[in-house]
Amino acid sequence: MTLGKHARRILLGGIALGMLASSPAFAGELTFWTWRQEDKATYQEIFKDFTAKNPDITVKVEPLPDNTYPTQVATGLAAGKGADVIQTHAYGWLEQFVKANYFEPLDKTNVPNLANFGPDALSALSFRGDGKVYSLPYATMTLGLFVNKDVFEKAGLTPPTTWDEFITVSKALKEKGIIPLANGLGTSWFNEMFVSAFTGPFLGPDFAAKLSKGETTYKDPLYAGALSRLLELRDYMPPNFEGVDYETAGQLFLTGRAAMLAGGSFDIANYRQLNPAINMDFIAPPAKQAGDPPRPSTFFDGGYAVNAASPNKADALKLVNWMGSPEFGNKFSNMLGNISPIQGVDIKDPILHHVADMNKTSMPHLNVVYFRFAKPTGSELIQANITKMMSGEIKPEQVGAAMTDGIATWFEPFKGK
Amino acid sequence: MAGASVQAAGRAAGVPTYRGESFKNGAIQALLWLNALIMLYPLLIMVMSSFKTNAEIFTSPLALPRSLTLNNLSKVWNETSFLQYLGNSLLVTSASVLLILIVGTMAAYAIARYRFRFSGLLLMFFLSGMTVPLKLAIIPLFLQLNTLGLLNTRLGLVLVYTAMGIPSAVFIMTGFLRALPTELEESARIDGASEFIIMWRVMLPLARPAMVIVAIQNAVPVWNDFFFPLILITSDELKTLPQGLTVFMGEFVTDWGVLFTGLTLAALPVTIFYILLSRQFIAGLTQGAIK
Amino acid sequence: MERRSNTGFPSRRSLWIAFLLAPATIIMLAFVVWPLLSAFQLSFYRFDGLKPGEFVWFENFYKVLFQWPFAEATYNALWHNVVVFFTLMVLENGVALLIAYALLKEMPAHRVHQVIIFLPVVLSAVIVGFLWKLLLHPLFGAVNAALGLFGIMGPAWLGNESTALGSIVFANIWHWIGFPTLVLLAGMQRISREVLEAARLDGAGDWTILTRIVWPLIAPSVTIVTILTFIGAFNWFELPFVMADMEGSPAHSTDVLALYFYRTAFGSITSGIQDFGQGSALAVLMFILVAVITFFALRFLRSREIEI
């Protein structure tokens, strides 16, 4: 082989290596990270409005997969290669990032639109350590019950409002060959929501308040009582429900094979898109007794944070501020089907309006709001133990005990209880 | 008669047979074909389902597709970055394999053909790399690549794979190169050839079969790996095929037809590669097995 | 033929050798040795989420090994790794041994069988995992559909605590069995035909030949297969990650050390909080466990090997 051929090969090799080392980056463009892959197109559409007002700033939406989102955000930020604006969850999830100084604190000077938010919203996205807001709240999520109105009508039944009605209706549906409740336990993060949705009406906001202060724990017989209600549901869930994941449950509901589905308001728009013909409603989970106010569980899903190390911080703050405006809130609610906490937003969708009303008497989604600050999180404890309870391996009291003991390792008010 | 031919085949292969064994051999053959069925049928379902609509998959998962709907295929083609992932995998795998070959062969040649102090120690150093699961050092590896500015780059990924592939490459090449006779080398030296020319023109061409084995043995795990890209690559444009597949499976989680199509397309390159080179694959395996 | 330089400057030969060795050595040092040593180091620090904290000696190790609830998770995961290893030894390698012996007879189409059995091996664990996840779906999967043909109601394979781990192990066997089969076959093929013929003529049946003659003589191949199965079982990650999830659902029944390490170090949706310090401690312990056992196992297995 001649030297010339050699040189050519080395040159090509060098170029190839050079190409491998480069990664693309553009100026005047903000990157936005989200775990909502399904919302990518809508976000891009909404951001066009921002660019219309700020012509030198474009926004690139980069979704990261849901189940590795915290990992990828953490590693990206640790590498100094985080996006400019990052969608975050709330409460404990946010804290770990704030402690590492990854996010820019937001206040009325750099994000004036914070004035559009109520105190609950802001505290959900604040750091307990210094009380500052680190992420702009974007939506409350509500856990309730989807019902397929057509299926009910055809069966000659009405959607239940109390627990007893729920059981009666389910028995009747089952006789007609319809699966009453589509849910399964196959998706661990949703199991927690399943528990919350149905136990909420039996616990109430007073319990939640006491729990958060440590005046009572999960060992409270009230909690065990609420959990044992779930055992009654097993007869009305699909066959092999332990393995039925959340997406399959959604399918069963959407295709009319099941009449009801415990779900989150974050799926209202999604389900409409998957089956535009469905005639559904989102109602409060069955109440303890007739006359009780609707008691769905709610939590703030998250916010939009600004990367403290972003090279385009000024622009990023502009974008986040705009995302706190009613203009964004309106589009956000109506196009993405979420309930925006921004004051002055007009929710047009009838189902969402209904949900917003329900939220007035809601109670907090316990583990997500109070117990995700350290390991073991309340979430992982309930998720692991609820499948055991539903398979009959352990009793409801044991679930409460396991959770209390686990949380007690880091939550002072629970210690020794 | 089946019995006689089996016996004849057995005798021809040198494995002795006896009367009455033909029945047993028949049973063994049946079991082997059952095994082949178990290996292949799931893959067949995977391919068939790619051509079915979701409703069809749910109602008749085992049957042949009613018609060959290319709907799923067009979805994958248009709505995902499948081609991009494929391209990245090709780039990363070829670059890694090339680098492993070059760097590993160089080191192996030094150890195999020259006697010098520490050569034994160095061999041990390289070989010990084979026992180490680099995954466990992922955290500092991540920080290390970050320091070098190689995070979220394909080059970083290539270097990691190279580091993982060097031990076995050195092992195989050293074994091979050591066994080559010294006469050719000696006579070339007498003729005044430089060490480089000796290596390049005389010895390495003889080691080609071993290099093919090293190439295949590294190409497959590198191509299939998704753990390192999971941590080290965040930009969508740079993702490799297995990593892209996990993203993809999350995005289309309810669209089973599309899921199966994605799996089929992802499996296709490796399967074709394997079928064309099955002899070399298997030879490489047995070579590696014989220490 | 070496030319020892007497000017003190390294000879051309030494430079040439150094040049040959340099790239590989540098890459290994930078991307293997250094990270491993750093992993040891990180395990001695406390991490507050993502922020490195102070030096805490063996606190992370203590937490992972002795403190509830971390220790419970550790031993739960470890136990599963052990179960997986022994199951694979018997079901994967044991069956591989039988298949290899069957292939040794070189009956018609034996080469085709070799190619077929090795095909799943070349597929990515991601593909295998997702494929079996779909096939094992409780309501729409092909496996339960097939069982349904016989009137059997299949369980929720991956959702049921008692069947989940077994289902994933089954997928693993399907994936990898070709590998030990061909390695053991290669070992068997090195046995001289005369030995086998003689045994036959003496009236020995297949089982006797397999256990008394073939088995001892393929010791080197058995060594390789055993060690690799051990290392694979204890570093098992891709398949459970894809088929279960990071928590080892349901109820941690499919949790294994590598999964536990990953979510400790990097967090997950549920246990969102990550802890590099604790994760590194776990990694160090895993490494020591595998290295020590491999070392002793290798010595034991090597002693069985007789020179053919």
Q: What is the pLDDT of residues C17-38, one digit of tens each?
A: 889 899 999 999 999 888 888 8
Q: How confident is the model at residue B289 (pLDDT cuts 50, 70, 90)?
A: low
Q: Does a structural domain hold residue A204?
A: yes
In this complex, do A186 and C160 lie within 8 Å of one another by their Cβ atoms? no
Pairing label, strands A258-264, A58-63: unpaired
Stated pTM of the model: 0.82
- Pair A294, A191 in one domain: yes
- When pLDDT is averaged across residues B99-110 and rounded to a whole number, the result is 92
Full domain range(s) for residue A309: 23-140+300-359
**What is the distance in angstroms between the Cα of C89 and the nearest Cα belonging to chain A?**
28
- Pair A278, A328 in one domain: no
ipTM of the complex: 0.83
Interface of C with B in 29-88 (CB under 8 A): 30-32, 34-39, 41-42
The answer to which of A225-234, A402-411, B55-64, B149-158 has the lowest mean pLDDT is B55-64
Tokens of A300: 């703030």
pLDDT greater than 80 at residue B253: no
Amino acid at A413: P
**CATH value of C64-304 in 1.10.3720.10, 3.40.50.300, 3.30.565.10, 3.90.550.10:** 1.10.3720.10
Q: Provide the pLDDT for residue B7.
A: 47
Q: Rounded to whole angstroms, what are the CA distances from C172 to A16, A109, A379, B65, B130?
A: 37, 57, 30, 28, 22
In this complex, do A99 and C266 lie within 8 Å of one another by their Cβ atoms? no
Q: Which of A17, A65, A79 sits opposite B247 (nearest CB)?
A: A65
Q: Which residues contact C194 (CB under 8 A, 6 or more apart)?
A: none
- Pair A214, A116 in one domain: no
User: For testing the chain A interface, which of B94, B234, B253, B259 should be mutated: the one with the most A CBs within 10 Å?
Assistant: B234
Q: Does a structural domain hold residue A329?
A: yes
Instruction: Map out the domains of chain C as residue ranges.
Output: 12-60, 64-304
Q: Which alpha helices (H) appear in A214-336, and where do they start and end?
A: 221-233, 246-254, 268-274, 313-322, 326-336
Q: Could you tell me how many CB contacts below 8 A there are between chain A and chain C?
A: 140
In this complex, do B91 and A20 lie within 8 Å of one another by their Cβ atoms? yes
| Contact status, residue C271 vs residue C263, Cβ threshold 8 Å | yes
Domain containing residue A385: CATH number:
3.40.190.10
Tell me the pLDDT tens digit for each residue of C166-206: 999 999 999 999 999 998 998 888 888 888 888 888 888 88
Cα nearest neighbour of B99 on chain A: A13
> Per-residue confidence of chain A (417 residues) as pLDDT tens digits?
444 455 445 544 545 554 454 444 455 789 999 988 778 888 999 999 999 998 889 999 988 877 678 777 877 787 777 899 999 988 888 888 888 889 999 999 989 999 888 888 888 888 888 889 999 998 888 999 999 999 999 999 999 999 999 999 999 999 999 999 999 998 888 899 999 999 999 998 889 888 988 889 999 999 999 999 999 999 999 988 988 888 889 888 988 889 999 999 888 888 887 888 889 999 999 999 888 899 999 888 889 999 998 998 999 999 999 999 999 998 888 888 788 888 888 888 888 888 888 888 888 888 888 888 877 888 888 988 998 999 888 999 999 999 999 899 888 888 888
| List of chain A residues whose C-beta atoms are within 8 Å of the C-beta of residue B150 | 21
Helix (H) or strand (E) holding A383: helix A378-390
Tell me the pLDDT tens digit for each residue of B111-127: 888 888 888 888 888 88
Q: Provide the pLDDT for residue A64.
A: 82
The pLDDT mean for chain C works out to 86
Which of A329, A359, A389 is a domain's end point?
A359
Q: Provide the pLDDT for residue C270.
A: 64
Q: Which of C32, C39, C134 sits opposite B139 (nearest CB)?
A: C39
- Pair A84, A180 in one domain: no
Pairing label, strands C45-48, C51-55: antiparallel
Tell me the pLDDT tens digit for each residue of B168-188: 899 888 888 887 888 888 888
In this complex, do B141 and C294 lie within 8 Å of one another by their Cβ atoms? no
Q: Does a structural domain hold residue A1?
A: no
Q: Identify the segments of chain C with pLDDT beneath 70.
A: 1-9, 48-51, 268-273, 306-308
- Pair A312, A211 in one domain: no
**What is the distance in angstroms between the Cα of A312 and the nearest Cα belonging to chain C?**
23
* Structural domains counted in chain A: 2
**What is the distance in angstroms between the Cα of B103 and the nearest Cα belonging to chain C?**
5
Q: Which of C51, C247, C266 sits opposite A99 (nearest CB)?
A: C51
Q: Rounded to whole angstroms, what are the CA distances from C225 to A229, B289, C82, C160?
A: 51, 9, 16, 31
- Pair A215, A97 in one domain: no
| Contact status, residue C74 vs residue C281, Cβ threshold 8 Å | no
Cα nearest neighbour of A389 on chain C: C251
Q: Provide the pLDDT for residue B227.
A: 86
For chain C, the chains sharing at least 3 beta-carbon pairs closer than 8 angstroms are: A, B
Question: Does B80-251 carry CATH code 3.40.50.150?
Answer: no
Burial (CB < 10 A; 0-12, 13-18, 19+), residue A193, is: buried
